[in-house]
Amino acid sequence: MKTLAQIGKKYPTSKNKTGFIPIYEHFLDSLREKEINILEIGVDQGDSLRLWRDYFSKAKICGIDIVKKDFSINNVEILCGDQSDYNFLSEIVKKYGKFDIIIDDGSHVSKHIISSFHYLFDYLNENGLYIIEDLQTSYIPRFGGSRLNLNKKKTSMNFIKTLSDSINYEHNDKPFFKKSIYDGKIKSVHFYQNISIIEKGESIKYFYGENQKIKFSNKIKKLLSLFF
Ligand SMILES: C[S@@+](CC[C@H](N)C(=O)[O-])C[C@H]1O[C@@H](n2cnc3c(N)ncnc32)[C@H](O)[C@@H]1O
Chain segment 135-183, per-residue pLDDT in tens: 999 999 999 999 999 999 999 999 999 999 999 998 888 888 889 999 9
User: Which pLDDT score is estimated for 115?
Assistant: 98
Q: Evaluate whether 168 touches 204 at the Cβ level (below 8 Å).
A: no
**pLDDT for residue 17 is more than 70:** yes
User: Which pLDDT score is estimated for 173?
Assistant: 80
* Catalytic residue of the set 108, 112, 171, 190: 108
**pLDDT for residue 16 is more than 70:** yes
Element (H, E) at 186: strand 186-192
Helix (H, G, I), strand (E, B) or coil at 115: helix
* Mean pLDDT across the chain: 93
User: Which pLDDT score is estimated for 105?
Assistant: 98
Cβ < 6 Å from ligand 1: which residues?
A: 13-15, 40-44, 47-48, 64-67, 82-84, 105-107, 112
pLDDT cut 70: percent of the chain above it:
92
- pLDDT: which is higher, 106 or 211: 106
User: Which pLDDT score is estimated for 84?
Assistant: 98
Helix (H, G, I), strand (E, B) or coil at 78: strand
User: Which pLDDT score is estimated for 81?
Assistant: 98
Q: Looking at the 3D structure of the chain, how many domains does it have? A: 1
Q: How far is the CA of 212 from the centre of ligand 1 (A)?
A: 42
Instruction: pLDDT band for 218, please (50, 70, 90 cuts).
Output: low
User: Which pLDDT score is estimated for 217?
Assistant: 62
Residue in 7, 41, 80, 89 to alter for ligand 1 test, most ligand atoms within 8 A of Cβ: 41
**Among this protein's residues, is 190 annotated catalytic?**
no
Q: What CATH number does the domain containing 99 carry?
A: 3.40.50.150
- 54-89 pLDDT per residue, tens: 999 999 999 999 999 999 999 999 999 999 999 999
User: Which pLDDT score is estimated for 216?
Assistant: 65
User: Which pLDDT score is estimated for 170?
Assistant: 87
Residue among 177, 117, 20, 199 nearest 5 (CA): 20
Helix (H, G, I), strand (E, B) or coil at 189: strand
**pLDDT for residue 208 is more than 80:** no
**pLDDT for residue 209 is more than 60:** no
Helix (H, G, I), strand (E, B) or coil at 65: strand
User: Which pLDDT score is estimated for 210?
Assistant: 46
Mean pLDDT (whole number) for 188-208:
90
- pLDDT: which is higher, 52 or 205: 52
Q: How far is the CA of 106 from the centre of ligand 1 (A)?
A: 4
User: Which pLDDT score is estimated for 120?
Assistant: 98
Rounded to whole angstroms, what are the CA distances from 206 to 139, 182, 198, 215, 216? 34, 19, 18, 16, 19
Q: How far is the CA of 83 from the centre of ligand 1 (A)?
A: 9
The boundaries of the domain holding residue 160 are 4-225
